[in-house]
């Protein structure tokens, strides 16, 4: 009997098949080791030939495209997993006759604090923002604190808000809303925020003393108003309980950090779209 092979271009593909070593096997076992296929089939979508024989455990390479510019996140992937690394960083340098402020804010950081504002209590609060928001918050400020802390406190808030604005970019794919209530001993503070692009602050803290250390407690509201104005954020702060001024203010910064962390994180169901029925979130 003759074996007829069609006159078409072919390729030979090795297919190792183990020889049956059982004593009951035939003395002449069939051990085919070559497969003759027309070349037109080697690219068939149901066949996966390339590299599978040489690398049987090799996983397919999945390419992900994203682009970031320092200070502005230009592209948001449709989905995020543990392998995605997207840095959203805002850097700001603000210089006036009263202050010189530099801020770098990494929203996808590890909670690294490095603040030196010349106002020790404000540095302590910025450390809370970094630690509980898991942001890298690096602030360097020199100001006319020999007069008072007002200008430095304000300009640090303005610079942080601007850095947040730049780091958020087009705000595609984020949760947008954040809500958190933080206790600190007897104090309890509730913070709700919306990264809406519309600046608004509702502030309701009853801080019983005029100062914590050398820090004027009136500056707490002024700090958050500055952040709101430049970031385009709607922010509501409510004190639910508290008697100790330090505890009330620190609970506020912790609640703000956690609410902001919630708002800037990605919603996997949104798949990279803007979280607004208008289709855009902009700083108005």
- 266 vs 258: CA distance, rounded Å: 14
Q: Are 219 and 150 in contact (CB under 8 A)?
A: yes
List of the chain residues with pLDDT < 70: 1-85, 272-284
The pLDDT of residue 32: 46
- 176 vs 196: CA distance, rounded Å: 7
Question: For the segment 253-269, what is each residue's pLDDT rounded down to a tens digit?
Answer: 999 999 999 999 988 87
The pLDDT of residue 16: 52
The pLDDT of residue 68: 30
The pLDDT of residue 76: 39
Strands 113-116 and 136-143 come out as: parallel
Return the closest-CA partner of residue 233 out of 271, 279, 177, 185. Answer: 177
The pLDDT of residue 36: 47
- Tell me the β-bridge partners of 105: 90, 137
- 132 vs 211: CA distance, rounded Å: 24
- 6 vs 186: CA distance, rounded Å: 88
The pLDDT of residue 99: 98
203 is written with which tokens? 């502030």
The pLDDT of residue 55: 39
Strands 200-204 and 234-241 come out as: parallel
- 283 vs 220: CA distance, rounded Å: 23
Length of the chain counted residue by residue = 284
- 240 vs 251: CA distance, rounded Å: 11
- 233 vs 80: CA distance, rounded Å: 25
Q: Are 204 and 241 in contact (CB under 8 A)?
A: no
- Tell me the β-bridge partners of 188: 183, 241
Q: Which helix (H) or strand (E) holds 189?
A: strand 187-194
Q: Which helix (H) or strand (E) holds 260?
A: helix 245-264
For 33, phi then psi, to 5°, come to -130, 0
The pLDDT of residue 280: 61
Global pTM value = 0.70
């Amino acid at each position: 009997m003759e074996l007829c092979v069609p006159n078409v271009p072919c390729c030979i593909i090795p297919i190792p098949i183990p020889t049956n070593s059982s004593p009951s096997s035939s003395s002449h076992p069939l051990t085919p080791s070559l497969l003759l296929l027309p070349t037109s089939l080697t690219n068939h979508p149901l066949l996966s030939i390339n590299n599978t024989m040489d690398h049987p455990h090799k996983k397919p390479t999945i390419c992900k495209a994203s682009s970031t510019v320092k200070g502005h996140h230009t592209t948001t992937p449709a989905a995020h997993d543990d392998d995605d690394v997207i840095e959203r960083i805002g850097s700001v340098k603000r210089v006036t006759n009263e202050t010189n402020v530099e801020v770098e804010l990494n929203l996808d950081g590890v909670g690294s604090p490095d603040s030196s504002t010349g106002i020790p209590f404000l540095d302590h609060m910025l450390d809370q923002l970094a630690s509980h928001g898991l942001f890298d918050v690096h602030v360097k400020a020199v100001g006319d604190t020999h007069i008072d802390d007002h200008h430095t406190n304000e300009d640090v808030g303005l610079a942080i808000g601007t850095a947040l604005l730049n780091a958020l970019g087009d705000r595609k794919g984020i949760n947008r809303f954040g809500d958190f209530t933080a206790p600190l001993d007897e104090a309890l503070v509730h913070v709700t925020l919306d990264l809406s692009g519309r600046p608004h602050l509702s502030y309701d803290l009853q801080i019983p003393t005029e100062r914590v250390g050398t820090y004027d407690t009136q500056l707490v509201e002024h700090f958050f108003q500055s952040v709101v104005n430049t970031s385009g954020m709607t922010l509501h702060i409510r004190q639910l309980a508290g008697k100790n001024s330090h505890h009330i203010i620190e609970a506020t910064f912790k609640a703000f950090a956690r609410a902001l962390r919630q708002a800037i994180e990605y919603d996997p169901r949104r798949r990279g779209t803007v979280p607004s029925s208008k289709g855009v979130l902009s700083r108005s």
